[in-house]
Amino acid sequence: MDGISAQKKIYSGVLLVLLANDVNIDWRLDVLVREAALANVAAIAIDPEQESLPASVVSLAHRLGITLIVCREPAELYRHFLATLSDDWNTRRTSVKEILSLVATVSSLDEALSELERLLGVAVYLFDPTGFEVSERISTREFEHISSFDRLPDVGMGKTAIGSGQTLFTVPINTDMPKPFRLGIVASNPSKSDVSTLSGLMNAAALVCAHVIMRSRLVDKSGAVERRRLIEELLHSDPDNPRAEIRRRIADIGWDVSDTQSVARIACSPAVDVVAATRFVKMAFEHQGVTVNIAEVDDGWFVWPHSTAHVARRDWEKLVRTAIGEIRERIAASCGISATGNGLGEFIRSLSRAADAARIAWNRPQSGYVAVADKLGLDQLLLSWTSADKFAYTAGEFLKQLENSGRDLTKTLLAYLDAESSITETAAVLGIHRNTVSERIKRIESVLDVSLDDPETRLALHLATRAELRFGSLDASGFYA
C-alpha cells in the first residue's frame, strides 16, 4: 500500500480490489483507507476474514468518502469489471448459449435488442434492407445510413469503417423476406481473435432476432389478412346502407369510424412486402405525432387517424405529405387523400376516393406524389373514363405510333394537352422554343392523322394518354419503358 497517495493520477476514481481472499483486518486496513482517500480512490473491494468489517473501519471510510465493497470473491469481481470495461471481446463472459436462450424469454424485437445490449454490454443497432437504422438507438447521425449496404455479404459478418478507429460490424437476419435486415454493433480496433469471437456472438444474436421477427410476422400476417378482407368488403359495400355484419366486424377489429374521417391511400409497387413495410409506414406517421389505423392491401395501405379529435383536415394533409416523403426514402409510393366525411357511409366513400387519388398521384412527381381527392377536378373524371382494359389497350397501340416516329413526340403531346393546347406554355414546360413545339404538333397530327384543333380529338387523346400512363408502359416524363 506504499505509494498509493503519491500516485494520484493512477488511482484517482478507480476501484481498488484486494485480490487475496479472507484478508485479516487490522491497523493496516485503516492505513489503506487513508492512503486511498488521499489518492481519490472511489471504492475498495475486500473479502474480510470475519463476516463483517469493524465499525471503526466503516466509520473511517464513510468520513473520508471511500465506498467499501464486501464480497466473497474479489478476484471474480475484478474479472467482471474488466470484462465489462474492456474492448477485448475474448475477456467478455457472454456466451453463445446465453444469447440463444433469449429465444424463450423475449416477446418483441425491441425487447430482444434491449436484452442483447444487456448481455453484450454495447449498443445494438438494427438496419433495414436498404441500410437505414430503424431501431432509433442512434445517439449520433454518423451512420444513420450505410451507403455500402448492398455490398455487404448476405452470409456471415460484414464490416463498415465509421471513423475514429471504430468499425460497424453487421450480420444478416435471415427470414422469409426477400432481403435481410441486419444487426450491428460498433467495436474499436478489434483484433482477429476479437472478430472471431464477435462473429459467433452476433450470429447467435441474429438467430434470436430472426426467430422474433418470424413469430411477429405470423401474428402480423394473421391480422393483416383480416384487415384486408374487411377493407375489400367495405369497398364493395353500399355506403348508404352498410350491412349490420360489417358494422360488427368494424367494432371487433377496433376501428372507430363514427367520427369525421379523412383517409389516405398509400400505393406502392406489388414487389414490396407490404406486411413487413407496415412498420415503416406506422413509424413515419408516429414521427409526425399522430397515431393511425393501418389496413394492408395488395399494393399498399389505407391509413387514417386513430383519433380525429385533434387532427384538423389541413393538419392531416400536411402530416400525410411529410410522412410520404419519409416513406419514399425506402420505397416508391404515391398517396391519395380523401375529402373529409362523417360516419360509416362517408368512410366507405373515402376509401374509393382516396384510392382514385393515389392512382393519379403516381404520375405526379411535381406534387410530391400526393393528390387530394376534392382538388382533382377533370383528372378524376378522366380516371373513371379510362378504367376499362380494352380502352387502355387500344390507347396504347394508338400512341405507340408516336414512339416509333420520335421519342419527343409523345412527351410533347402530354405537355400540350396538359397545357390546354397552349403552344407558349408547352414550350415553357419543356424548356424549348415555341417554334419547335409547333413543328412537333404538326408531326403528331401527321403521324396520327388527326387535327388537334378539334376539341373532341383533344379530349380523346387526353383520355388515351391518361390510360397509357395508368395501365400501359408510358412513364410520367412521356417516355416508354
Q: Is residue 460 predicted with pLDDT exceeding 50?
A: yes
Average pLDDT rounded to a whole number, residues 245-255:
81
Residue at which a domain ends, from 152, 182, 214: 214
- The answer on 329 and 270 residing in a single domain is yes
Structure confidence at residue 139 (pLDDT)? 46
Sheet arrangement for strand 300-305: 292-297, 300-305, 264-268, 333-337, 370-372
Output the pLDDT for position 311: 65
Judge if 336 and 418 occupy the same domain.
Answer: no
Q: Residue 3: pLDDT above 80?
A: no
Looking at every residue in the chain, the average pLDDT score rounds to: 78
Which ranges of 273-336 would DSSP assign to H, the alpha helix? 274-286, 313-327
For 199-233, the pLDDT digits (tens) are: 888 888 988 988 888 777 666 667 788 888 889 99
Query: Same domain, yes or no, for 126 and 48?
Result: no
CATH number for the domain including 421? 1.10.10.2840
Q: Is residue 446 part of a domain?
A: yes
Who has greater pLDDT, 168 or 89? Answer: 168
pTM of the model as a whole: 0.47
Does some domain include residue 228?
no
Above 90 in pLDDT, residue 267?
A: yes
In this structure, are 205 and 265 located in the same domain?
no
The predicted-structure confidence for 318-339, as pLDDT tens digits, reads as follows: 899 999 999 998 889 999 998 7
Looking at residues 273-291, what average pLDDT do you find? 86
Asked whether residue 456 is assigned to any structural domain, the reply reads yes
- 305 plus 431 within the same structural domain: no
Torsion over CA of 356, 359, 365 and 366, rounded to 10 degrees?
-30
Q: Rounded CA gap, 168 and 104, in Å?
A: 28
392 & 377 share domain: no
Average pLDDT over residues 401-427: 84
Which of 320, 353, 385 is the last residue in one of the domains?
385
Residues 258 and 364 in one domain: yes
At 19, the pLDDT band (50, 70, 90 cuts) reads low
Tell me the mean pLDDT in the region 35-44: 82
pLDDT at 285 exceeding the cut of 80: yes
Residue 81 within a domain: no
Q: Which of 364, 385, 406 is the last residue of a domain?
A: 385
Question: Residue 387 above 60 pLDDT?
Answer: no
Predicted confidence (pLDDT) at residue 170 exceeds the cutoff of 50: yes
Please tell me whether residues 291 and 423 are part of one structural domain: no
**Averaged over 366-394, what is the pLDDT?**
64
High-pLDDT (> 90) share of the chain, %: 9
Residue type, 337: I
Whether residue 315 sits in one domain with residue 281: yes
Beta bridge partners of 46: 70
> Which region among 76-85, 167-176, 344-353 has the lowest average model confidence (pLDDT)?
76-85
How far is 16 from 42, CA to CA, in rounded Å? Answer: 8
Report the side by side order of strands in the sheet with 158-163. Answer: 125-127, 181-188, 166-173, 158-163
Residue 110 lies in a domain: yes
Question: For residue 290, is it within any domain?
Answer: yes
Q: Cell numbers at residue 449, please? A: 392523322
Q: What is the mean pLDDT of residues 308-321?
A: 75
What digits encode the pLDDT tens for the residues 78-129?
A: 666 655 544 455 555 667 888 888 888 888 888 898 999 888 888 888 887 7
What is the model's pLDDT at position 302? 95
pLDDT at 140: 45
pLDDT of 33 above 90: no
Residue 378's CATH number: 3.30.70
> Of 86-90, 152-156, 200-204, 296-300, which gets the smallest average pLDDT?
86-90
Q: Are residues 149 and 285 in the same domain?
A: no
Per the structure, the complete domain to which residue 169 belongs is given by 91-214
Q: Is the domain of 166 the same as that of 152?
A: yes
Whole-number Å distance between alpha carbons of 472 and 459:
18
Q: Report the domain count for the chain.
A: 4
Range 412-432 burial, b when 16+ CB lie within 10 A, else e: bbbbbbebeeeeebbbebbee
Residue 292 sits in the same domain as residue 376: yes
What percentage of the chain exceeds 70 in pLDDT? Answer: 77
pLDDT at 367 (0 to 100): 80
